Structure 1
């Protein structure tokens, strides 16, 4: 990987695809993507983050109760994507989401989760924090 952050939808999708490939090549436990910490809002909780585990094609993320409904609506737009585990945390809810498909599809789901699910601005900065 030569780039570790992106701010436009197309760049974020390219970044996620490259990060998934690096995660797979390194055979790491998971890939962590984080949004810019400056978007933290006291009403919505900490900045969004998403982990991906290639072996199970699973996303892991935390969301607030307010974000949960919009995250469900965002994943409903993608056939075959489903929540496989959900449990309460101190800050809200932890979700495991199965995303079958190729790297591009996983990246598109993550992009939708960020913008439509978490309500991040279109120019949110996404970081590949751990691959």
Structure 2
């Protein structure tokens, strides 16, 4: 792999496919994709939506800031991510668009905020890339031109 970030929708999906391919070729345990925090700080997308409450802090007082920048890991046919309860509801809605993807496990650690979700992803790299991009956009409310980094492969 020669590039490790992308901000345009088509380039992000290509980045995901390249990262999945590199991960599989290297036989690594997992790959990690992370949203650039600056994309969530006061940015807006084409529909005029504001930045995610996760990064900007919301008035509900539910400590979503503690989860940090959104990230997604992939390894051994599983997508792993952390989310708030509201983001979990959004993830369940996304999963309706991707019937081949199913929640395998929900972990709610007492010592941490949020929910760790493991989703089975028995699909080709292109379909996994579509799913990952949709999660960043619809679950984490990343602006349509938000930058994603491949931080570990």
Note the C-alpha offset of 1:41: 2.2
**Distance in 2 of aligned mates of 1:7 and 1:87:** 30
Contact in 1 for aligned 2:5/2:150 (Cα 8 Å): yes
Q: Report the equivalent of 1:68.
A: 88
Shift of 1:9: 1.2
> Structure 2: how far apart are the matches of 1:50 and 1:95?
10
Contact 2:83 2:115 in 1 (8 A): yes
Quote the residue 2:131 is aligned against: 109
Query: Is the contact between residue 7 and residue 126 of structure 1 (CA under 8 Å) also seen in structure 2?
Result: yes
**Structure 1 unaligned blocks of 5 or more:** none
Give the Cα–Cα distance (whole angstroms) in 2 for the partners of residues 83 and 110 of structure 1. Answer: 14
Q: For 1:11, what is the secondary structure of its paired residue?
A: helix
Cα distance between partner residues in 2 of 1:118 and 1:74: 11
Deviation per CA, 1:74-97: give whole Å up to 9, x if none: 121012211000011312100000
Q: Distance in 1 between matches of 2:102 and 2:126?
A: 17
User: Please, which runs of 5 or more residues in structure 2 have no aligned partner?
Assistant: 41-54, 59-63
CA distance in 2, matches of 1:68, 1:13: 22
Q: Distance in 2 between matches of 1:35 and 1:9?
A: 13
2:47 corresponds to: none
Larger radius of gyration: 2
Q: Which residue of 2 aligns with 1:21?
A: 21
The one-character-per-residue Cα deviations of 1:85-122 (angstroms, maximum 9, x if unpaired) are: 00113121000001111000000000110101211111
* TM-score normalised by structure 1 residue count: 0.93
Q: Which runs of 4+ in 1 moved over 3 A?
A: none
Aligned length: 129
Kindly indicate whether the alpha-carbon contact (under 8 Å) linking 1:75 and 1:113 is maintained by their aligned counterparts in 2.
no
Deviation digits for residues 36-58 of structure 1 (CA, Å, limit 9, x no counterpart): 022222234322100000x2x10
